[in-house]
Structure 1
C-alpha cells in the first residue's frame, strides 16, 4: 500500500504531532508499506529554519525508509493563531500542489491540530480519486474559543461548518481520545467510521535513565534538590503561572510548612525544590518576565532541545507536572507527555481534569490536582517528596503501564484503519 501523509510538523521538530507522525510512519514502513510525507522545512516553534535546511519550493529527503517531501511555507514563530495563519495557508497550498504531482497514493492521511492541513488532504483526495483519513489531534475551533482566540459569531460558525464538512468527507476519522469520538457522534458524525488511536510512547527512546549529575550542575540545580518539571509547549492553554506560583511558595528551605494561602512550604527534611520548564511557545516570554519579577531563583527555563536529547532532560526530573487551564474543553484532552512520563518511570502531578485524569488514577501513575490551584500542586509535591513508599509505588506503576501505550502497537492499530479504507 502507498500511503501519503500530510503534516506541517515533522522531525527534526520535536513537538507531539511531529513525533507521532514520524513514529507511526516508521512502523508502517517496517510493515512493508510505502510512505510519503509532505511537510515543510523544519522551523517550529521559533519560525527559524533549522541548520542544514533551506526553505525551498520542493526538496526530497529520506528518513528511516520514508520519502519526505519538504515544500515551501511562510515561516513565523508560534506566537498566536492569527500570526500563524499565513504559515498554515501557505502550507495548505504548497502541500496540495505537491500532492497532485507525486505518485498516486492508495490512501491519504491529514493530521490536525490546525485543520488547514486537513483541507489540503481532502482536496488531494478529490483530485486524485483516493480516500482520505482525518487524524484528529485537537478539536478546532473549540480549543481556539477556550483560549480566547475566537469568539461567538459568524466567523466561528463558518469555521465550525468547515470542520463538520471535513469530518463528513473523511473515509475514516482517527481521534486521539474517546472524548473526541463522543463529541463527534453527538454532532452527527457516523460513529462507525471513528476509530480512537490514543497517543503513546516510543519505548526504545523513553525508558528509565540515571540522572545526569553533570547536567544538574550545569543548570545550577543542587544535587539533593527535588526536581519538578514541565516539558512541552508554553502556551496560553497551559496556564503555567500556576507552576510559578507553586515555585514561589516552595523556594525557601528555612520556613515551616503551611497550607495557608501565600505561605512558603518545604519538605520535612529541608530538601530544596527546583522547577524546570523546557520548551517554547507564545506565552514563554511573559512567563520568564513574571519569574524574574517574582525573583524565582529555583525556576530554570530551558529552550527546546534536539529530539535525541529530550530523554536526558526528562531524567533530571523527580516529578513530571502536566497542566492545562481549568476549562471544560480541556477535559477531552490527553497530553502526550503523560505517556513519556510513564516510559521514563517518573510519577506525574496531573493538573488536567477529565479523560487524562482517569488514566492517571486507573494506572496509578501519579496524583491528580485541581487545575490552576498552586497550593494543591504544592501539596502534591510535598507528598511525593516525603512519602518514599508512595513515590516508589507510582514509579513501578509507570513502568508497568507504559507497554500498554506502546507506539508500535498503536501504529499498527491505525494501519488497520488505513488498510480498510484503501480496500
Structure 2
C-alpha cells in the first residue's frame, strides 16, 4: 500500500517498531539494543517511504504477552508522535493511516490525527472487533488453557472486550475513511449503527490483501498418476484461527479409506507444538518445516497435489479471506479450502479448488480421497490467477487512491 501511495506522488512516513514478530528476544537483549526507544532510520524503505522506528516490549506466544506487546507498540507510536524526533520535527501530514491488525493501533491512530490536526483512515486488516467474541476459543488449537486465561475469562476479559470494542468503534465512527480486506466485512460495517453519524458510516473501500511477496512461480499442470496417495501442503501461520488439528484428523480418516495423505506443514505459529504432539499420536504421515520466504516455496508447490487454506468455524471468519488464498490462486495451485463465507465464495466462483465445511474432518477426508482417485479435479480451469493480478495491479490501487481522495476532501 505504501508503494501505491509513493507511486501516486505522495510522501509517506511510517511509524512502526523494528520487525520482531518471529524473533525470540530476551529482556537483556531488548535492553542492550535499546528497543524501548524510538529512532529514525537513515535509509528509506523498499517503497521509498521514510521509516521512524518506535519502541516495544518483546512479544511472546501467550495471549497476555501478545496483548502487552501490542499495547506497548501503540504507546511507542504515541510517544513518537508527541516527541517528533529527527525528520518528524515540524512534520505536518495531510492524512494519517492506521493499520489495525493490532487493536491498540486504532487508539494510537486517532491520537496521532488529533495531534497533527489531520483526518485519518483506519485500515482494518481482520474482522475486528468481532473476533473478540471468540475469546473462549482462542486457545483451542494450543491444546491448553493457561492459568491467566482461566482467571481472565471470569470477568476481566469481558470488561476488556467491551472497552476495546468501544475504543475501536469510536475510532471507526470518527474516521474519514475505512479500508477492509473483504466485501462482506465492508457490507457488515456499513450497516452498523454504532459507527454511524446521522445515519451514515464513513466511506468504506474493500482493498484485498493481494500483496504477498511476489514470485514468478506458476504450477506445471502436467498429468499425475491416479492412485492411493495425495500430497497436501499447508504453508502459512500455525495460528489460533486455523485449528489445523482438523487436517491431521482428516488425513487419518482418509487413510482408513485406503488413501495415504502426506501432509507437509511449512511455517510457524503458536499452535505448532500442539500440532506436533497430535501428529505423533495419529496414524498419519506429517512433516513440519520452518517458515520459508515466498520466493523459496516453489519446490513445495511442485511437490503438492493440493494446498490447504484453512480456518476454524468462528462466525467472524466468514468475513475474512486469508492472503494465502490469493497467492495460491496466482500460482495456479489447487486449493483444498476449509473455509466458509467470502473465502469459500472466491475459491468456488473463480474455479480455484474445492471447499469443505470448517471443523468437519470427515468432509475433508472424503474430498482428499476423491481427489486422489480423480486427479483431473486438481486441474485449475478458472480465472483466479487473472483476477488476482487485476486486483493487485488495477482494482486495489484505484480503490485506495479513491478512499484517500474522499478522506482528504
Aligning the two structures, in what range does the TM-score lie when normalised by the shorter sequence? 0.7 to 0.9
Partner of 1:130: 118
TM-score (norm 1): 0.79
| Whole-angstrom distance in 2 between the partners of 1:82 and 1:129 | 33
| Whole-angstrom distance in 2 between the partners of 1:28 and 1:412 | 11
Gaps of 5+ in 2: 139-151, 222-227
Partner of 2:333: 346
Structure 1, residues 265-306: CA drift from partner, whole Å, max 9, x if none? Answer: 31xxxxx5321212222211111111122254x211122223
| Whole-angstrom distance in 1 between the partners of 2:297 and 2:50 | 25
Structure 1, residues 307-356: CA drift from partner, whole Å, max 9, x if none? Answer: 54345544442212111112222111111111111011011111111111
Partner of 1:30: 7
1:145 paired to 2:133: yes
| Whole-angstrom distance in 1 between the partners of 2:304 and 2:71 | 38
Q: How does 1:264-303 map to 2 (within 5 A)?
A: 264-266=257-259, 272-294=260-282, 296=284, 298-303=285-290
Partner of 1:381: 368
1:330 paired to 2:317: yes
TM-score (norm 2): 0.81
Residue of 77, 80, 88 corresponding to 2:70: 88
Shift of 1:398: 3.5
Partner of 1:121: 109
Gaps of 5+ in 1: 1-23, 212-223, 252-262, 267-271
Partner of 2:241: 237
SS of the residue 1:232 aligns to: strand
| Whole-angstrom distance in 2 between the partners of 1:245 and 1:315 | 24
SS of the residue 2:268 aligns to: coil
**Retained in 2: the 8 A contact 1:341–1:398?**
no
**Retained in 2: the 8 A contact 1:92–1:117?**
yes
1:411 paired to 2:397: yes
RMSD value over aligned CA atoms? 2.7
The size of the alignment, in residue pairs, is: 367
1:40 paired to 2:17: yes
Residue of 383, 388, 393 corresponding to 1:402: 388
**CA pair 116-179 structure 1, distance change in 2 beyond 3 A:** same
| Whole-angstrom distance in 1 between the partners of 2:303 and 2:94 | 44
Q: How does 1:94-105 map to 2 (within 5 A)?
A: 94-100=76-82, 101=84, 102=88, 103-105=91-93
**Retained in 2: the 8 A contact 1:200–1:339?**
yes
**Retained in 1: the 8 A contact 2:176–2:202?**
no
Residue of 49, 68, 75 corresponding to 1:66: 49
| Whole-angstrom distance in 1 between the partners of 2:390 and 2:110 | 32
